[in-house]
């Protein structure tokens, strides 16, 4: 038997085996589905298996929050996610039960949960369904239903690139509603924080991502906390704080070991391997990355597999082993090609890593032509990532919200003004009748109406002036305008902006003109002062509030307070007042 015949036989045999496997799979799948749909009731044992409760009656006795925790936080929900048919059947029975008992909350709850668990498989048409559910919840004054449907609508918007700003703002609004409602608990609070943390990370705003990650409630271990631990580890890695990153990945690894969850063990181990790679601990990184690559490749998770293979290739390039490097580089390249996702930031990050590794490989081989080509490709991928992040950025400054508030207030006043005009028209008709009974009385009444109209007009004009002022303030904030030729005692320091090194250089020059020699005196007074602490001392000298300092520095009020607290400890000052006095005395 020649080689061609042998290969042909092997190919035909493998195709036959694959066909037989598919026939058996579809037969078993059909049989299971038929059995499921032939059932007319669900047994107590099955209720216990899926929900951990004895009967449906237990659902009526529980609060919305208790049912929410039951479904989202139960270990059995892993079964839901992998047994969609079983879950759909159970959900259908619960919804019928809710209708029979006129329990609107329970009905909306399982409608929402069903959509949530089928988000990846049933995105088409789900938005219309969610919008209707949201309106039903509002009509029935169902606060929980309105919140959960709004959250799912926001997730739907966020899944479409052009709807991202709308989805992000809706997500923030949902969180604000939950935070302001002190009368009830919402299990999805952690999920909301996790989503907002993830989208800040995706946009490259790592500091904001950390702020939301730290807010996640740690009263109990659940999926949100473990996912948060993974994300916090990745964020700290991007900030090059690898010790903090290792802490969170080890936390995730320990949970995986406790639960004997192989997927979680591999994921956390692979992340630790990448951290070892960044620390150039290649011998420690290699076995973890190899395990990570093999696991994700076997399950067809091409993005994660490509990342691990390319890092392994880069390690071998650094070791000078170009033979092994070429082998793993080829595997990584194949995985990137197999990724079928629509263009996302994560996809371009995979391409960027591939091109950067190829550039290093061809530099090591002294092939300047290919090294130059892949270097340009890596730069193009980097520019694309920056462009996509810029397109997703949502303005969240105080000026934006102030502007929105002014616009809403203006609309309300215009509505009142229109009502006043309609009233005047009606009064015009009544005037003819009232003149028969007393012109004098009518004139007095008309004068009161005109006075009220004038006041409304005055208020409207005032709000319009505030609106113009708000827009001007916002323009100043976003453009970060700093006067080019400041005049002493005429500087409006609140308009300053100290975010980039260029801003700081301009600010120092302006400040030095207003307070000559301040920086020299400050350096002599306090040793080893960091740049951030020097900025704080300057702003304290100007007697600015924490909010104003936060706006100038582009950080939150809490960040200003934390910097001030660290500075107090550093120079052994007990109170804020003493620190202010020190800043003024220099």
- Among 135-139, 270-274, 338-342, 579-583, name the one with the lowest average pLDDT: 338-342
- Verify that 34 and 99 share a domain, yes or no: no
- Verify that 413 and 546 share a domain, yes or no: no
- Verify that 514 and 444 share a domain, yes or no: no
Please, are residues 364 and 432 in contact by the beta-carbon 8 Å criterion? no
Alpha-carbon separation of residue 406 from 177, 321, 412, 416, 441 (angstroms) = 20, 65, 10, 15, 38
- Verify that 101 and 84 share a domain, yes or no: yes
pLDDT band at 87 (very low <50, low <70, confident <90, very high): low
Cβ-defined contacts of 198-206 (< 8 Å, 24+): 198/231, 199/158, 199/168, 199/171, 199/392, 201/231, 201/234, 201/235, 201/238, 202/345, 202/346, 202/389, 202/392, 203/389, 203/392, 203/393, 204/389, 206/235, 206/238, 206/239
- Verify that 453 and 412 share a domain, yes or no: yes
Does residue 196 lie within any of the structural domains?
Answer: no
Chain-centre distance for alpha carbon 202: 7
- Verify that 449 and 509 share a domain, yes or no: no
> What pLDDT does 32 receive?
40
Residue 59 structural domain: 43-186
Confidence check: pLDDT of 457 > 80: no
Does residue 226 lie within any of the structural domains?
Answer: no
pLDDT tens, 22-62? Answer: 444 444 444 443 443 444 355 666 666 666 665 667 777 77
Chain-centre distance for alpha carbon 358: 32
Does residue 290 lie within any of the structural domains?
Answer: no
pLDDT tens, 464-495? Answer: 665 555 445 544 544 443 344 443 445 677 77
- Verify that 28 and 144 share a domain, yes or no: no
114: closest CA among 88, 152, 78, 148? 88
Does residue 283 lie within any of the structural domains?
Answer: no
> Buried (b) or exposed (e) across 366-385, using 16+ Cβ within 10 A?
eeeeebeebbebbeebbebb
Q: What is the residue-averaged pLDDT of the chain?
A: 75
> What pLDDT does 437 receive?
62
pLDDT tens, 1-13? Answer: 444 444 444 445 4
When comparing pLDDT for 85 and 167, which is higher? 167
CATH of the domain at 504: 1.10.10
| pTM to 2 decimal places | 0.51
313: closest CA among 269, 375, 355? 355
Does residue 474 lie within any of the structural domains?
Answer: yes
Does residue 232 lie within any of the structural domains?
Answer: no
Confidence check: pLDDT of 285 > 90: yes
Confidence check: pLDDT of 152 > 70: yes
Does residue 260 lie within any of the structural domains?
Answer: no
Q: CA-based Rg of the chain, rounded to a whole angstrom?
A: 32
> What pLDDT does 136 receive?
85
First to last CA, the chain: 95
pLDDT tens, 315-364? Answer: 999 999 999 999 999 999 999 998 876 567 778 888 999 999 999 999 99
Q: How far apart are CA 267 and CA 272, in angstroms?
A: 9
Does residue 414 lie within any of the structural domains?
Answer: yes
- Verify that 113 and 55 share a domain, yes or no: yes
71: closest CA among 127, 114, 126? 114
Q: How far apart are CA 160 and CA 166, in angstroms?
A: 10
Question: SS3 of 51, please?
Answer: helix
What is the mean predicted confidence (pLDDT) over 430-459? 64
Please, are residues 156 and 127 in contact by the beta-carbon 8 Å criterion? yes
When comparing pLDDT for 238 and 70, which is higher? 238
- Verify that 455 and 557 share a domain, yes or no: no
pLDDT tens, 158-217? Answer: 877 678 788 888 988 988 888 887 777 777 788 888 888 888 888 788 888 888 888 886
- Verify that 522 and 550 share a domain, yes or no: yes
Q: Which of 149, 170, 186 is the last residue of a domain?
A: 186
Please, are residues 365 and 346 in contact by the beta-carbon 8 Å criterion? no
224: closest CA among 117, 29, 357, 69? 69
> What pLDDT does 464 receive?
60
> What pLDDT does 132 receive?
87
Q: Which of 154, 186, 218 is the last residue of a domain?
A: 186
> What pLDDT does 408 receive?
40
- Verify that 48 and 158 share a domain, yes or no: yes
Helix, strand, coil proportions of the chain in percent (round to 5)? 80, 0, 20
Q: How far apart are CA 310 and CA 502, in angstroms?
A: 37
Please, are residues 212 and 187 in contact by the beta-carbon 8 Å criterion? no
When comparing pLDDT for 144 and 247, which is higher? 247
Confidence check: pLDDT of 115 > 50: yes
- Among 3-12, 259-268, 374-383, name the one with the lowest average pLDDT: 3-12
Number of domains in the chain: 4
- The helix (run of H) or strand (run of E) holding residue 261 is none
- Verify that 91 and 170 share a domain, yes or no: yes
């Amino acid at each position: 038997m020649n080689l061609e015949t042998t290969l042909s036989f092997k190919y035909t045999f493998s195709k036959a085996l694959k066909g037989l496997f598919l026939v058996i799979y579809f037969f078993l799948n059909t049989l299971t589905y038929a059995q499921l749909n032939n059932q007319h009731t669900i047994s107590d044992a099955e209720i216990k298996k899926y929900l951990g409760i004895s009967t449906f009656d237990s659902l009526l006795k529980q609060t919305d929050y208790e049912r929410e925790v039951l479904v989202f936080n139960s270990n059995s929900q892993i079964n839901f996610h992998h047994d969609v048919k079983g879950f759909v059947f159970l959900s259908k029975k619960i919804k019928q039960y809710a209708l029979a008992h006129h329990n609107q909350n329970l009905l909306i709850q399982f409608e929402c949960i069903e959509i949530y668990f089928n988000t990846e498989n049933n995105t088409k048409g789900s938005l219309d369904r969610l919008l209707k559910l949201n309106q039903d919840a509002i009509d029935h004054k169902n606060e929980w239903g309105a919140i959960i449907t709004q959250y799912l609508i926001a997730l739907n918007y966020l899944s479409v690139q052009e709807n991202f700003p709308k989805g992000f703002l809706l997500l923030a609004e949902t969180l604000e509603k939950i935070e302001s409602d002190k009368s009830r608990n919402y299990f999805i609070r952690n999920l909301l924080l996790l989503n907002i943390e993830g989208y800040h990370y995706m946009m490259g705003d790592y500091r904001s991502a950390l702020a939301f990650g730290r807010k996640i409630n740690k009263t109990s271990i659940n999926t949100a906390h473990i996912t948060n631990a993974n994300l916090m580890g990745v964020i700290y890695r991007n900030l090059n704080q690898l010790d903090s990153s290792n802490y969170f990945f080890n936390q995730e690894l320990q949970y995986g070991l406790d639960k004997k969850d192989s997927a979680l063990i591999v994921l956390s181990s692979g992340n630790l391997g990448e951290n070892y790679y960044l620390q150039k601990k290649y011998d420690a990184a290699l076995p973890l990355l190899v395990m990570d690559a093999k696991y994700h490749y076997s399950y067809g998770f091409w993005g994660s597999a490509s990342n691990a293979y390319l890092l392994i290739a880069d390690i071998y390039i650094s070791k000078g082993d170009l033979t092994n490097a070429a082998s793993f580089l080829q595997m990584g390249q194949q995985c990137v090609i197999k990724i079928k996702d629509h263009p996302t930031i994560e996809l371009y990050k995979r391409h960027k890593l591939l091109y950067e590794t190829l550039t290093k490989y061809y530099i090591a081989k002294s092939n300047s032509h290919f090294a130059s080509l892949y270097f340009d490709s890596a730069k193009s991928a980097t520019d694309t990532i920056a462009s996509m992040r810029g397109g997703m950025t949502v303005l969240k400054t105080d000026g934006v919200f102030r502007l929105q508030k002014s616009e809403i207030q203006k609309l309300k006043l215009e509505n009142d003004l229109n009502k006043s005009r309609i009233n005047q028209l009606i009064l015009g008709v009544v005037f003819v009748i009232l003149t028969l009974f007393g012109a004098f009385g009518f004139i007095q009444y008309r004068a009161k109406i005109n006075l009220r109209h004038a006041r409304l007009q005055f208020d409207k004009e005032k709000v319009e002036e505030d609106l113009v002022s708000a827009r001007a303030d916002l323009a100043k904030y976003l453009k970060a305008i700093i006067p080019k030729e400041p005049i002493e005692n005429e500087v409006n320091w609140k308009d300053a902006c100290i975010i980039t090194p260029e801003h700081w250089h301009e600010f120092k020059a302006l400040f030095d003109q207003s307070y000559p020699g301040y920086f020299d005196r400050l350096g002599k007074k306090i040793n080893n002062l960091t740049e951030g602490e020097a900025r704080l001392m300057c702003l304290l000298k100007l007697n600015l509030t924490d909010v104003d300092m936060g706006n100038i520095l582009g950080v939150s009020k809490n960040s200003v307070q934390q910097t001030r607290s660290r500075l107090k400890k550093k120079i052994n000052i007990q109170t804020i007042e003493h620190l202010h006095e020190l800043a003024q005395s220099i």
